[in-house]
Structure formats: C-alpha cells, structure tokens
Amino acid sequence: MPAIKNPDDFRRYLADFCSRGGSREDTGECRTAVADSRNTGVKYFTNSFWTAKQRQASSIHEISYRACFKPQLPHFFIDLLTDEGDIVYDPFTGRGTTIIEAALMNRRIISNDINPLSKILSKPRLFVPRPDEIAGRLDEIFKNADSYLKKSDFTPELPMFYHPATEYGIAVLMNYLKLRSDSGAADNIDDWIRMTATNRLTGHSKGFFSVYTLPPNQAVSMESQIKINQKRSQIPEYRDVAALILKKSRNLQKNLTDADMENLAAAGSSARFLTRDACDTREIASASVKLTVTSPPFLNIVQYAADNWLRCRFNSLNAEEIGERITMSSSLADWCNAMQKVFDELCRITVNGGWVAFEVGEVRKGEVRLDESVIPLGRNSGFECAGVLINEQNFTKTSNIWGISNRKRGTNTNRIVVFYKK
C-alpha cells in the first residue's frame, strides 16, 4: 500500500483505524478515541496503535539503552508515511531503533547523535558478520592476549564490578580494538565485537560481564556498586568474555532472514552517521528527508553521560565531555528554546510532502505536557501539525478517551506529535 500523502488522509486513516481491525499489517482488538484539544486546536488520537503482540520486532534491536522506544513505534510511521527507497532520519539516534527498523524495511537512512556511543551501537548492526566469523576473530584475539596486554602488566581497576580474570579479558579486548581502530584496520567483525561487548559490560544477570548490578542501560558509580555488593553479600564471579559476546551475537541474529540481511547491508551502503548537534546538520541536504522519527532528551530526567560512563571508558571516550555537549535542560523554557532550533533544521532538510514524528512521552507523571509545548515549535518552523497520537495498550473507554489516566501513568505511554511539511 502506498504511503499516505497528506494530513487529511493521515487523520482519516487514524480515525478509521478500528474499522479496519488495526494496522495495515495486523488484526486485533482496537479502540480509537478522537478528541480536539482545547489548548492546541489539534486532534488527538488515543489507541493501541502498535503493540508487541501485533508485530514481533526483529531480534537485531535487542541492544539495551536508556530511554529508548520500542521498534514498533518507528515501524508504524515508516510503514504509513514512506515508500521503499525514501530517506528516514533520526537526529537523536540513541541505540538506533529508528534507523535499524527503517533499514529492515528497505528505506535509506541518516543517523545523527551527538553522543558517539550511538554510532558504535547502531552502525555495526547494518553489516552483520556470521557467527563463525565472530567466533574465529574472538578465538584469534584471546589466543594472542599477551600481545595486546601482558598479564604481568595488568592491574585490576574495577574489582567491584568484575572478577580479575574477567577484567583482564575486557582490557585485552579494549587494547585490541583500540589498536585496530588507530591503525585503520578495524572491519565489520571488529565493529560488531565492539558493539556487543559495549552492551555486555554491566547488567543484572549472568549474561553480562559484571556481578549483579543495575540493568545494562544504567551504569552505577564504583562507590554505589560497592554498596550493592555489600548489601547483597556478593563477590564478582568469573565471566567468559568471548563466550558471552558470541552468545549475545547469536541472540541478536536469531530471527534475521536473508532478506533482512540484504536490506540492512543495502541501507548501510548509503547510510550517513553524523555526530553533531541536531540543530546543525549541515551535511544533510535541504529537502532530502521524507520522514523523521525521533525522541529527544527530555529536560534533565535522564543523565545520559553518567549512565554510560563505563561504556565510554571501554571505548576510550570522555564521558564528561560528551555530557557537556548533550542537550539537558533544567527548565521547560530552555528545553523549548533548544528544540525550536532543532525544528528549524528539520524543516530545512524535510522534503515538501515529508513528515516528522516527534515522540515526547510523558514527563513528571504527566504534570508536564510536552506535546502541548512541541506543537507551536513545529508550527513556528513551518510545519503543519497533523495530529497527536497517544499509544496506550490498556485503557478504558471512558476516562482514557480524553487521555486522563495516561497522565497518571508516568512514562508507560507514548505521545507522538506528527508534523507535515507542505
């Protein structure tokens, strides 16, 4: 089915969503509520527009990252508003959900994130090596461990997280990857190993390199980990670094088809990965992007650099410098000022007839309605607001029609403001 071409058809599609039994791909129980906002003059659509039950996401998405949305969200908009070969963009790429999903759907992609960890976590999943290639490279690295770091020269620095032998394996891998990167010899297998190891550094199960700690999308400080160990009476056990990387690699690839691999590689061949402020992406040509699907940093709720200090350390990145560059506004006014510049840039790069799906979640348990602040920002830049989607899997037919209970559920609800450029 071809992409929707204008806001009237978009709103008509959403209002008629239930009568067609769900999305264009799926069937299921759906309830639609449509309301005109008294504050914005924009139609709000509340429904279960996408759920994990409706469509299983690809295993290639299963990379932990703080404050990321589910793949079903970008899939919904990519399917609805673009055709194969169109360019899909995310100015706040994070773990790469939008661009990976777009690649799987045979779209071209542009990625941007001021945090260089984003590229490390997302680009390798476009060029997927075979498990036997990964196993062979890991075997080669650790058979020659002494050439990258002699055990006699190694001193554990993170005993609160890792068994000494595990930390030695991590250090060997760090040195190997740095050597390959500095020499320009790193290939897609090295990049995949870096990505997977970065994702396995800490977590709350034996599938991670570390002792039990917070979930892998939030690294605690060394001092906090010492307290966790004391409270749980735990001592870091040995973890086989190579074995865990290979296990995670197989899990990431477990439901990839040959067609998926071809689409990922095709998108990767023309993909662009920027590491810039989202308001200044001069490398992107004007009027070139058909759809942007993104979720910006919300005020100062998530401390990205603090959460990722161990990941930055493993990849020889300065977490403090990265944190200073990331937009973290303490007030709504400051956040809106920053986002206005982003919308100006999005309007420049969006084609006439293009779209922006701007996910703003719910902040401070619904006390801050970012959608109502975002609507005028997009309009100021030259966009038309096509509507606001509230994706809620479980809501009653009464109170939820007006989004009331959504504002009491914290961040369990997606709120997406959709814009159109004439």
Of 86, 50, 99, 92, which is closest to residue 390 (Cα–Cα)? 50
Strand, helix or coil for residue 364: coil
Residue 207 vs residues 145, 155, 279: alpha-carbon distances, Å: 22, 24, 38
- At 421, list the tokens: 């450029």
**Type of residue at 31:** R
- At 170, list the tokens: 């991590």
**pTM given for the model:** 0.90
Pairing of strands 108-112, 87-90: parallel
**Residue 259 CB partners (closer than 8 Å, separation 6+):** none
Please write the tens of the pLDDT for every residue from 299-351.
766 666 677 889 999 999 988 888 778 766 778 999 999 999 999 999 999 99
Q: Give me the helix-helix angle, 131-143 and 188-199, nearest 10°.
A: 80
Q: Label residue 361 exposed, middle or buried (CB < 10 Å: 0-12, 13-18, 19+).
A: buried
Q: What is the DSSP string of 196-264?
A: HHHHTSSBSSTTSSSSB-S-TTSPPPHHHHHHHHHHHT--PPP--HHHHHHHHHHHHHTT--HHHHHHH
Asked if residue 103 lies in contact with residue 261, where contact means CB atoms within 8 angstroms, the answer is: no
Question: Poorest-confidence range of 14-28, 174-188, 191-205?
Answer: 14-28
**Type of residue at 366:** G
The half-sphere exposure of 268 on its side-chain side, counting CA atoms within 13 A, is 18
State the DSSP H helix or E strand holding residue 177, giving kind and residue range, or none if neither: helix 164-183
Strand, helix or coil for residue 139: helix
**Residue 394 CB partners (closer than 8 Å, separation 6+):** 48
**Could you tell me the pLDDT band of residue 33, with boundaries at 50, 70 and 90?**
low
**Residue 1 CB partners (closer than 8 Å, separation 6+):** 24
Please write the tens of the pLDDT for every residue from 264-281.
999 999 999 999 999 999
**Type of residue at 317:** L
The CA distance from 37 to 119, in Å, is 38
Structural domains of the chain in order of their starting residue, each with its CATH number:
7-115+258-304+328-420 (3.40.50.150), 131-252 (no CATH)
**Could you tell me the pLDDT band of residue 183, with boundaries at 50, 70 and 90?**
very high
| Higher pLDDT among residues 296 and 366, named by residue | 296
Per the listing, tokens 């735990």 go with 234
**Type of residue at 410:** G
Strand, helix or coil for residue 350: strand
Across residues 373-386, what is the average pLDDT? 97
Cα 10 to chain centroid, rounded: 25
